[in-house]
């Protein structure tokens, strides 16, 4: 039976789809999600923090979880439009190199770094996070915020992270996760639809990442489930797509400009809420160290 816990695409097809998706929709993602195109973090179900502030808080919580030391040299693997890298530079004085497959994300992230006044500490380039090309032991921290789910070979990704870490360096990851391996047919089908619409490879249960870190020779692995802190992202998600649904003519203008991916983009938000509501999707974080 298909458990949806293996790659949805071949690696070349996935990389092409990621490039096309984000090169084409980078401006729409920023318009609807803001600078931080990832989950937010809330302390409790009663926490009324707005979505954008909660997204910044998730960056800060992940930096504390690692922890990311002040002044660290950081590789942001899957940097998006640079918001996390810019925040790490601005709040912790980090020197950050961000990598992504999308040339448009690099262009936008670079412009944002200049606007934020941190271009002397933050740079971006196109590179594959599974084969970065950096020398061994180049970074104090490898940071992957909601990019691990895009990696078709997660063992190779974590091994590459271990390779570029300096002795004593830290890998810290926040990623979409499966509940466990016991998914029924309808749950697997739901994940496959999410893979298609969000252009991701596949997700794994949180304990599987602990095993992959051990296999890569990393130590001090610690994992946590932040699902209850992040699920409000999708409970509040109607505000993301409401501007689109309010004006059908706007949707058709987007279709003419961006193509059919717009419909998948709109559909992806309720799919993620359904995955959280059904307990299929979890939100996991883990950190591990390269041996000194």
pLDDT, position 252: 62
Phi-psi region of 82 (alpha: psi -120 to 50; beta: other; left: phi over 0): left
**Helices (H) and strands (E) in the chain — how many of each?**
12, 8
Which pLDDT value is given to residue 256? 63
Report the chain's terminal Cα–Cα distance, integer Å: 43
pTM over 0.85: yes
Residue in 80, 81, 43 with CA at minimum distance from that of residue 60: 43
Q: What pLDDT shows up at residue 255? A: 63
pLDDT recorded at residue 151: 97
Task: Give the chain's largest Cα–Cα span.
Answer: 59
Q: Quick one: CA dihedral 155, 161, 164, 169, positive or negative?
A: negative
Residue-by-residue pLDDT tens, the chain, 292 positions = 567 999 988 999 999 999 988 888 888 788 778 899 999 999 988 888 998 999 999 999 999 999 999 999 999 999 999 999 999 999 999 999 999 999 999 999 999 999 999 999 999 999 999 999 999 999 999 999 999 999 999 999 999 999 999 999 999 999 999 999 999 999 999 999 999 988 999 999 999 999 999 999 999 999 999 999 999 998 776 666 666 656 666 666 666 656 666 667 777 888 999 999 999 999 999 999 999 9
User: What is the per-residue pLDDT for 270?
Assistant: 84
DSSP output for 36-51: --S----SSTT----H
The angle, 0 to 180 degrees and rounded to 10, between the axes of the packed helices 238-246 and 11-33 is 80
Please say whether the beta carbons of 141 and 89 come within 8 A. no
Q: Which residues contact 277 (CB under 8 A, 6 or more apart)?
A: none
């Amino acid at each position: 039976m298909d458990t949806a816990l293996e790659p949805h695409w071949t690696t070349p097809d996935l990389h092409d789809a990621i490039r096309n998706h984000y090169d084409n929709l980078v401006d729409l993602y920023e318009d609807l999600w803001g600078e931080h195109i990832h989950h937010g973090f809330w302390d409790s179900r009663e926490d009324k923090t707005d979505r954008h502030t909660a997204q910044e808080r998730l960056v800060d919580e992940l930096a504390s979880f690692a922890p990311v030391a002040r002044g660290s040299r950081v590789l942001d693997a899957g940097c998006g439009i640079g918001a996390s890298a810019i925040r790490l530079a601005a709040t912790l004085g980090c020197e950050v190199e961000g990598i992504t497959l999308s040339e448009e994300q690099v262009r936008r992230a670079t412009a944002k770094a200049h606007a934020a006044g941190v271009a002397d500490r933050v740079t971006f380039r196109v590179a594959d996070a599974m084969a970065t090309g950096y020398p061994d032991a180049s970074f104090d921290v490898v940071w992957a915020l909601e990019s691990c789910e895009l990696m078709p070979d997660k063992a190779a990704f974590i091994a590459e992270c271990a390779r570029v870490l300096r002795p004593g360096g830290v890998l810290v990851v926040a990623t979409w996760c499966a509940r466990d391996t016991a998914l029924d047919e309808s749950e697997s089908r739901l994940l496959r639809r999410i893979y298609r619409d969000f252009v991701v490879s596949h997700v794994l249960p949180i304990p599987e990442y602990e095993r992959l870190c051990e296999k890569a020779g990393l130590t001090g692995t610690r994992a946590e489930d932040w699902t209850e802190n992040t699920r409000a992202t999708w409970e509040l998600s109607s505000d993301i797509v409401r501007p689109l649904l309010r004006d059908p003519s706007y949707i058709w203008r987007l279709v003419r400009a961006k193509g059919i991916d717009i419909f998948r983009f709109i559909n992806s938000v309720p799919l993620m809420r359904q995955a959280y509501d059904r307990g299929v999707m979890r939100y996991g974080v883990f950190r591990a160290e390269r041996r000194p």
